Amino acid sequence: MLDPECLKSLHKWLTESNVKLTHINGQRKYGGPPDGWVGPMPGEGCEVFISGIPRDVFEDRLIPLFSAVGPLWEFRLMMNFSGQNRGFAFAKYGSLALAEAAIHQLNGHMLEHKVWLNVCHSTEKHHLCISELPDNTKRKELLEALCSLTEGVAGLSLKMGPGIKGTSALVTYSSHHAASMAKKVLVEALKKHFAVTVSIKWHLHKSTTRGPAAPPRASKPQPLKPPRHVPVWQQPCLSPHPRLISHDLLNEQGDIQKAVVGPHGPSTSPVLALSPVSLLNKMCEARWVSRPFFGLKWSHAGPDGYLYFDYSVRIPHLIMPFTGQVGVLPAQNPAGVLEEAYQAAAKQVLRALQALNSESDSAS
């Protein structure tokens, strides 16, 4: 049941701020762009995904919070028929830098007592896979049909052969919005205008000029490889190859064993209970008074049951970010999946820093 006070607060804020919200397709949208927006339409990577939102929290609290990072081009809160939100939203900024700043500042932000927001890069999908097309489907004819029924068609390739029911098509759209709109209407539109019954789903991999990307093969998460060259350190007071963590910080199972080594030597505080993310944060705070920046982006669901994420972790005063991929098992809620992915990424970065220490010791 909706909290009357929350609704009253929302209506009061809308009246005082003159913010306009539009209801469309199960979501409530602000902007896209808002009135008075100056600048081009945002490109790739400018949108963030927000989860963990309490069901009775609305735009009067969320939009000011995310606008504090920078001007919003668009904010979309997913809604259900009861008037409650569905627990997640999307915020789009005018630049990639602002989107990354929002992730850095607001991921883990405590909105209410024991309620933390999860903020990460949104997966802006551009590709649709249309399957069960007739065997005699011609690329030129299908392309003309798609262009007449939807907007933003940027490319099309066909795939047919043994084991494939009918013909499949990979359609590339100019934007995630165009692909989303096409996904909503194409099944009915093709059935109505061309008497063709198809199935449509998102294609999560980048296409190539040769046709659809091959399905992912079962594989284990790949360990992070440290940069080939020791990065340039920007603090002249530090030695060229400063020790970051002790050699035996992680055991063979990846468990934490010893404390952070800060600028004044090893910490005496035990860290056996610290998670990899907490340990990495403390290590960076001890040396540079600044936490690392975590970037996390959905990659794909593997046939081995793991959910795969690409990550980029920027360590303060290191020129090159650490990048890699981690796989985690599904959880009951998105927040749990993201938490596991962040912890797995932090563990790989700790191992990479440990490898850098070993290299610097060998060189000296």
Average pLDDT along the chain, 364 residues, taken 10 residues at a time: 86 92 88 87 88 93 94 93 89 91 91 88 85 88 91 83 68 81 89 89 56 35 36 28 38 40 44 70 76 82 77 80 84 71 88 73 60
SS3 at position 157: strand
How high is the pLDDT of residue 327?
87
In the prediction, which pLDDT does 364 show?
56
Give pLDDT, residue 333: 63
pLDDT value for 21: 94
Is residue 26 one of the residues assigned to a domain?
yes
H or E element at residue 329: none
Asked whether residue 86 falls in the same domain as residue 184, the answer is no
Domain that holds residue 150: 127-202
Strands (E) in 145-211, as ranges, are 153-159, 167-173, 199-202
Q: What are the CB-based long-range contacts (under 8 Å, 24+) for 299-307?
A: 299/204, 299/325, 300/204, 300/205, 300/216, 301/204, 301/216, 302/216, 302/218, 302/219, 302/327, 303/215, 303/216, 303/217, 303/218, 304/218, 304/219, 304/220, 305/329, 305/330, 306/221, 307/337, 307/341
CA distance 126 to 132: 20
Measured between alpha carbons, how far is 204 from 125 in angstroms, rounded to an integer? 7
For residues 133 and 160, state if they share a domain.
yes
How many CB atoms are closer than 10 A to CB 202? 13
17, 110: one domain: yes
Whether residue 277 lies inside any domain: the answer is yes
Task: Give the domain-ending residue among 154, 175, 202.
Answer: 202
* Residue 281 near residue 287 (C-beta atoms within 8 A): no
Closest C-alpha to 164, from 121, 112, 117, 129 = 129
- Give the end of a domain, one of 121, 138, 167: 121
| Strand partners of residue 159 | 168
Co-location of 52 and 71 in the same domain: yes
Cβ neighbours of residue 275 closer than 8 Å, sequence gap 6 or more: 343, 346
Residue 331 has a pLDDT of 63
Q: How far apart are CA 283 and CA 263, in angstroms?
A: 10
In this structure, are 13 and 106 located in the same domain? yes
Around 94, how many Cα atoms within 13 Å sit in the side-chain half-sphere? Answer: 13
> Element (H or E) spanning 103, and its range?
helix 96-106
Quickly tell me which residue has 């992680």 as its tokens. Answer: 250
How many CB atoms lie under 10 A from the CB of residue 106?
20
pLDDT of residue 205: 53
- Residue 230 falls within a domain, yes or no? no
- Rounded to whole angstroms, the Cα distance separating 220 from 238 reads 37
Q: What is the CATH number of the domain that holds 82?
A: 3.30.70.330
Q: Are 117 and 11 in a shared domain?
A: yes
CATH of the domain at 322: 3.30.160.20
Q: Is residue 248 part of a domain?
A: no
φ, ψ at 300 (rounded to 5°): -170, 165
Q: Do 72 and 150 belong to one domain?
A: no
Considering the entire predicted model, what is its pTM?
0.47
pLDDT reported for residue 337: 77
Terminal CA-to-CA distance of the chain, rounded, Å? 66
pLDDT value of residue 249: 43
Q: In DSSP terms, which residues pair with 15 in a beta bridge? A: none
Domain boundary among 80, 99, 121: 121
Q: Is residue 210 part of a domain?
A: no
Q: How far apart are CA 51 and CA 266, in angstroms?
A: 37
Residues 83 and 147 in one domain: no
Please calculate the CA angle 257-259-264 and round it to the nearest 5 degrees: 155
> What is the distance between the alpha carbons of residues 107 and 51, in angstroms, rounded to a whole number?
10
| CA 360/CA 202 separation, integer angstroms | 46
The answer on 21 and 107 residing in a single domain is yes
In a domain, 229, yes or no: no
Q: Are residues 139 and 81 in the same domain?
A: no
Q: Is the dihedral of CA 344, 348, 349, 351 positive or negative?
A: positive
Q: Is residue 101 one of the residues assigned to a domain?
A: yes
- From the list 269, 267, 270, the residue with the least C-alpha distance to 257 is 270
CA distance 106 to 118: 8
158 half-sphere exposure, CB direction, 13 A CA radius: 17
What is the domain count for the chain?
A: 3
Q: What is the Cα–Cα distance from 88 to 312, expressed in whole angstroms?
A: 23
Same domain, 141 and 91: no
CB distance 89 to 76 below 8 Å = yes
Judgement on whether residues 80 and 136 belong to the same structural domain of the protein: no
Confirm whether 171 is domain-assigned: yes
